[in-house]
Structure 1
Amino acid sequence: MPASLPLSRTRAQLFDEMVRDAVELLDHRFTQELSGVEFAVEDVPPALNVYDADVLEDGEVPIARLLPGRAGGSGSVPPRIVLYRRPLELRAVDREDLADLVKDVIVEQVANLLGLDPEDVDPD
């Protein structure tokens, strides 16, 4: 089977594609606001005893994190939204459900970053 077919992609590659698709949808509406924002995927959240308010949790399990970034000279750090793949995969019943969940999480994190309601970021 050719490597370009969807069946030959790993779960991680499919997840990354879902993230890219969700970001592209929002980027059309918020091009300026999202121009410096980094989006990242990690398999699992770091093991911490307590998570800060920047972590989106489902129950007690972190599924995403918003790192707001900081400005200033050579030490500036861009805002970053991190999705945790394995916890999100475990909450989805199928690939379509996972894509919807990824989109919802990204919408919520972008809304938090921009100080908006999620419905204002994605009215769907």
Structure 2
Amino acid sequence: MSTAEGPPDQMSEDEFDQVVTEALDRIPPELADRLSNVAVFVEEEYEPEPWEDPDTELFGLYDGIPLTERAGMPWQMPDRIIIYRGPLLRAFQDRDELIEEITVTVIHEVAHFFGIDDERLHELGWD
């Protein structure tokens, strides 16, 4: 787990990226090997779509076509997993809680790539 110190709102971009990398490293190898054509990004803020509540804050977003829906699709643009730094930093005052939530968010978005929906993730305790 990350050794970054100090208040969460002072976590540098490099430290935040390291925590995301560590979360990705926790994915079991048999699943990580199937994470092909997926790019993981850290962005500062989520920009809501025009039809969304302008106060919408997301911790993460999966943008792509889940593996469970790809039958007969020979070529695809890369899927994207985006982790939003700003909302996470604002939501957690405790560094350990922040690191845990970054991990939960990464796992949550990776699960969407594998076709696991929010309801099932909650059943599995990833909420």
- TM more than 0.5: yes
SS at match of 1:30: helix
Matches within 5 A, 1:88-103: 88-103=88-103
CA distance in 2, matches of 1:24, 1:120: 23
- Structure 1 unaligned blocks of 5 or more: 52-58
Corresponding residue for residue 118 of structure 1 = 121
2:15 maps to which residue?
14
Taking only the aligned residue pairs, the percentage that are identical comes to 21
Aligned pair partner of 1:67 in 59, 63, 67: 63
Query: Contact 2:48–2:56 at 8 Å: present in 1 too?
Result: no
User: Partner of 2:41 in structure 1?
Assistant: 40
Question: Structure 1 residues 121 and 13 mapped into 2: Cα distance closer, same or farther (>3 Å)?
Answer: farther
Q: For 1:77-122, what per-residue CA distance to the aligned partner results, in whole angstroms no more than 9, with x for missing partners?
A: 1111001100011111222111100111111111112123437989
C-alpha RMSD of matched pairs (Å): 3.1
Q: Distance in 1 between matches of 2:97 and 2:79?
A: 27
Alignment length, in residue pairs? 109
Give the direction of change, closer, same or farther, for the CA distance of 1:29–1:101 in structure 2 (3 Å limit): farther
Report the equivalent of 1:30: 31
Question: Which stretches in structure 2 are left out of the alignment for 5+ residues?
Answer: none
Q: Distance in 2 between matches of 1:94 and 1:17?
A: 17
- In structure 1, how many angstroms separate the alpha carbons of the residues matched to 2:124 and 2:13? 26
- The TM-score normalised by the length of structure 1 is 0.70
Does the 8 Å contact 2:62/2:113 carry over to 1?
yes
Structure 1 stretches (4+) deviating beyond 3 angstroms?
A: 69-73, 117-123
Higher relative contact order (CA 8 A, sep 6+): 2
Q: Distance in 2 between matches of 1:84 and 1:10?
A: 13
Aligned partner letter, 1:67: D
Return closer, same or farther for 1:89/1:12 CA change in 2, 3 Å cut-off.
same
Identify if the C-alpha distance between structure 1 residues 122 and 32 changes in structure 2 by more than 3 Å, giving closer, same or farther. Answer: farther
Structure with a larger share of its residues in strand? 1
